[in-house]
């Protein structure tokens, strides 16, 4: 017979998931409102990481309440996301900066020069 979650943990999981959805909604509003690509990158990069942490916490509460012990296997997912999300953001920013330099848009910073 499957174990049943206590109502308090169900409420906590629901609040965490709704909070995560609220964070993503604010990030979507930032995408809509901010005028430039580089400014638009900031809102979802931070919000997606925070939302992923909140969902991971909700998963830990959910699986810990259903099982007999603390379920920390979800931390593997958030560790991988925490490592890859900033790297992806940096790569996207560098690609956009390269494309703008190739297009000749001007108030951009000069490329870094190598020292000999």
Mind listing the pLDDT tens digit of every residue in the chain (116 residues)?
Answer: 566 666 888 999 999 999 999 999 988 888 888 888 888 887 787 888 889 899 999 999 998 888 877 878 888 888 888 888 888 888 988 888 888 878 876 676 666 676 65
For 40-65, letters b (16+ CB in 10 Å) and e give: bbbbbbbbbbbbbbbbbbbbbbbbbb
- 38 with 96: CB under 8 angstroms? yes
What predicted TM-score, i.e. pTM, was given to this entire model?
Answer: 0.73
């Amino acid at each position: 017979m499957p174990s049943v979650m206590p109502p308090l943990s169900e409420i906590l999981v629901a609040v965490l998931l709704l909070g995560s959805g609220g964070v993503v909604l604010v990030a979507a509003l930032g995408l809509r409102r901010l005028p430039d690509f580089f400014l638009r990158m900031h809102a979802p990069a931070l919000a997606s990481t925070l939302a992923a942490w909140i969902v991971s916490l909700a998963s830990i509460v959910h699986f810990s309440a259903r099982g007999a012990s603390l379920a920390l296997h979800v931390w593997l997912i958030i560790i991988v996301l925490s490592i890859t999300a900033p790297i992806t953001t940096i790569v996207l920013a560098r690609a956009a900066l390269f494309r703008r330099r190739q297009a000749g848009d001007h108030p951009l910073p000069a490329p870094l020069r190598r020292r000999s």
